[in-house]
Chains A and B, each alone.
Chain A
Amino acid sequence: MFGRLILNALRHLALHPVRTLLVLQGVIWGTALGVFPAAVIHGSLKKAEEEAAVQGTDRILIALEQLEAEKAFEWKDVGWLRRRYAEDVRHVTGMGVYESEDRKTPPVMATDPEALASRALTLTAGRFLRDADIRDASRVCVLEHAAASELFPDRDPLGQSVEVAEVGTFEVVGVVAPQDVKSENMDEFGYESGHVMSRFIQDMKRNIGIVDDGQVKELRTGRNIMVPHAAVPTFKPYVIEMRADPKAILELRDRLRRDLIEAGFQPVIFTNAVLPFLYGRTLDTLVELNRVVFVLAVMVGASIVCALMVLSVVERQREIAIRRVEGARRWHIGTQFIVETGTICAVGGVLGVPLGLGLAAIRVWFEPLGTVDWTFPPMESAVIVAVVAVIGLIGGLLPAWRAVRVDPVEILRYE
């Protein structure tokens, strides 16, 4: 019985292909606008957490603005931060990069054993710096990949010694792998350098007063010679790098700032630019705003579907009358209209999801922040399709009611 009703309704939709298609696209757009923000938010959250090390969403970089002499970091400050934030921060390391004046050798980076984890590096050969190296001020070094190929293009660097003017000789004990290409091309805020928008981003950074991050940039060259800081006691840690849970980074950043300022420093702290959007209050506002837009779009869609169905009831009065005379009950005809609108809305809803994903993909393509991504949001999509279908059903009630009130005898006699 029901099956026949539904078949009948579908046949009517197929009989008026132009109308059906036009209405359908309206519903599709409405759904797409609902799916689009959810796809971007979920995609970005996923990327921020799963690729945290590559994207730098788990990273805090601290540099100091030194307008006066006495306010530089010391190695004991790195230890102080490590103890103070032991519960919330996974790794803390200090780094100071120095280039010799003759520039013949790659720059020397004074650091500590935690650099491996804090900078998200991996070893390709040998070992990393150890606590014992710091204790004994051993003259050993670990080469970054570009430094290794620059110094020893055709030899195994392990066991070789590197001589740096003004600093001395170090024995190579390890080599680290090149960083992920993506993270090498990303600045400290997570903006991609080769992106179509990157020039605009550069301008924006300057305009909002971001300092020239010379020391921070040195970290990404891949050509540093990492040595235990105790072996070069005059080198100070100019940049401190930390890793923590992406969700906790914003709050940590604020605490760190306050602590450092109270301790008399003038910190400049870099974190991934996507974090305030993903984990801040802003997201809630945006999501709520999007929901309003979605409801509005669906309402427009529903009122149009409703208007069209009502119009078609008028056109189809004769047809309805004949069906009534043939013995169709009122509720048969009413159901038919509800099924018609319901079907359009359900199909439109389902087709709207891929369109929404397409819009999200375009949006991501325009985005210079590497962490912004899109994904298929199953829950939201299901909810949106369901909401659209329900609204479609409700929107079908009005035309159904009109259709039911048709008096067959009156209509047919009038003809």
Chain B
Amino acid sequence: MNALKNMLIFAGRGLTRRPLQTGLLLGAMAVALAGVMTIMAVLAGVNAQVYRDLQRVGLDVVNVQMVPNLQNLILEPLAMEDVEWIAETSGASELAPFRAELAVGVDLESQRSEEFLMLATTDKWGDIAPLELVEGRFFDEREPGVCVLDEWVARRFFGGASALGRMLFVEVGGETWVFEVVGVLKDPFEIRKKFDEMDFAGAARSTLNRALEFKSMYVAGDFYDERDAIHGVALKVPSDRDAKQVAANLRQESKRRGLSVIAWARSQWVDNVIHGADFTTQIASILWIIILLVTGVMILTISLVAIRERYRELAIRRTEGARRLQVVGQLLLENLLLSVVSGGIAILLARFAGRLLEERYLSWPPTFLPGEMALALGLGVGIGALATVVPAYRAASLDPVQTLRVA
């Protein structure tokens, strides 16, 4: 115990006696490790954010909709009796038919115009997906002349200002309508705050699938009127049933009934997207593996050179009677102290860099996973130790007399 304490003190003195070198080594190692940690955290952060965002689309929701296929030139829209049949077959606890059309809206006050998906649906829509309102309320049953906006759309029109009570002129299907905004739904997708533009396929997406973009305007539809054809149904599966099972069952039953619709569980879609995101991150991980390797080589370099410069000192220690193992131990301990301290500094630096990146460039918080941080730290310390033991042993094995005489 005492011996260890003495060794620690000795190693510490070895470091403090050369403050400039120690400082430089510390700085270089800390910056290198912090770089690796930041990149790891940024990549882990994307995945975590995608996961969090997708949880909000409603995992117990099943979509039943007409087949979005350019070659199915004209489909027979669903009728209200089909909707009732779907409700019965699925045993849904809540269910809302919808009709989806692309529309262009104009805010007369700001003269801004935006395109979005206009979803005509019922007041039940608000009960199906987890409903979080930024302001206002969802519309009531068959309430005409009012609309609810997704946050993404509201921000495009009104910036940060309140949207409640504003009037929108909406062109849809060659006609113009006026709606008063009564509510704004919270955007489930945080991640697109700064990277929305990267959705290169936005213009090519099927109208019916665009409901999951959450860039919509919701209005009350009257589905008993023939002009409001039904394009699909969103339904909430009771908590004791599996959404994927319900979707599969609906697919089968509707084929038997001769309905040309597809049914899919949002949870299945979420699984697919997360799977894809995982794969992409794995490819991106190649990046941090390269950087980790480069960092490792740099740490190796520093440790190697740092020892080469100290042959004389080590020779003197040997002539003073220190054993080989003691010399190696001393160097190892010094290096260990150095790596641990620089690792600590690196964690602080990485956190700071992460916050800076989040503010300026990213729309997700970098996530510092303990496992990954430990990996980076372990690698730093491990490589440092490895890079010490071999040359230290060599240095300790040199004939001290020879070394001193040459110098």
Contacts and interface: CB of A to CB of B under 8 A. Distances in A.
A166 B88 CA distance: 45
Given A26-B301, A308-B302, A276 B198 contact: yes
Contacts of A261: 102-104, 115, 171-172
A366 B283 contact: yes
B276 A270 contact: no
Interface string A43-63: 000000000000000000001
Contacts of A314: 18, 21, 309
A257 B115 CA distance: 8
Contacts of A189: 200-201, 204
A342 B344 CA distance: 32
B21 A310 contact: yes
A5 to B, nearest CB: 23
By DSSP majority rule, is chain A's interface helix, strand, loop, or mixed? helix
Contacts of A275: 200
B69 A67 contact: no
A65 B206 contact: yes
Given A216-B70, A285-B194, A289-B361, A304 B301 contact: yes
B69 A273 contact: no
A252 B43 CA distance: 34
B273 interface: yes
Contact of A214 (B70, B171, B205, B300): B70
A403 interface: no
Interface in A287-337: 288-289, 296-297, 299-300, 303-304, 306-308, 310-312, 314-315, 318
A296 B28 contact: no
A136 interface: no
A67 B231 contact: yes
B89 interface: no
Contacts of A267: 102, 203
A215 B298 CA distance: 56
B188 interface: no
Interface stretch (A75-83, A199-207, A223-231): A199-207
A257 to B, nearest CB: 6
A263 to B, nearest CB: 7
A300 B201 contact: no
A213 B309 CA distance: 68
Interface in A1-42: 18-19, 22-23, 25-26, 29
Contacts of A288: 361
What band does the interface of chain B fall in when counting residues whose beta carbon is under 8 Å from A? 35 or more
Contact of A25 (B194, B231, B297): B297
A216 B206 CA distance: 14
Interface string B70-94: 1101110100000000000000000
B205 A210 contact: yes
B162 interface: no
Contact of A204 (B204, B276, B361): B276
B400 interface: no
B203 A271 contact: yes
Contacts of A213: 70
Interface in A243-281: 253-254, 257-258, 261-264, 266-271, 273-277, 280-281
B69 A200 contact: no
A207 B269 contact: yes
Contact of B35 (A203, A210, A268, A296): A296
A14 to B, nearest CB: 16
A240 to B, nearest CB: 13
A63 B70 CA distance: 8
B269 A276 contact: no
Interface string B17-30: 01011001101100
24 contacts: A19-B308, A23-B305, A29-B297, A66-B74, A67-B208, A68-B229, A189-B200, A189-B204, A207-B272, A208-B205, A210-B201, A210-B206, A211-B68, A215-B71, A262-B171, A276-B197, A277-B198, A296-B35, A299-B31, A303-B24, A304-B298, A307-B24, A307-B28, A308-B302
- In the A-B complex, the 8 residue pairs with the closest CB atoms: A209-B209, A264-B174, A214-B71, A307-B24, A22-B301, A269-B203, A211-B206, A273-B200
Interface of A: 18-19, 22-23, 25-26, 29, 63-69, 71-72, 188-189, 200, 203-205, 207-216, 238, 253-254, 257-258, 261-264, 266-271, 273-277, 280-282, 285, 288-289, 296-297, 299-300, 303-304, 306-308, 310-312, 314-315, 318, 366, 402
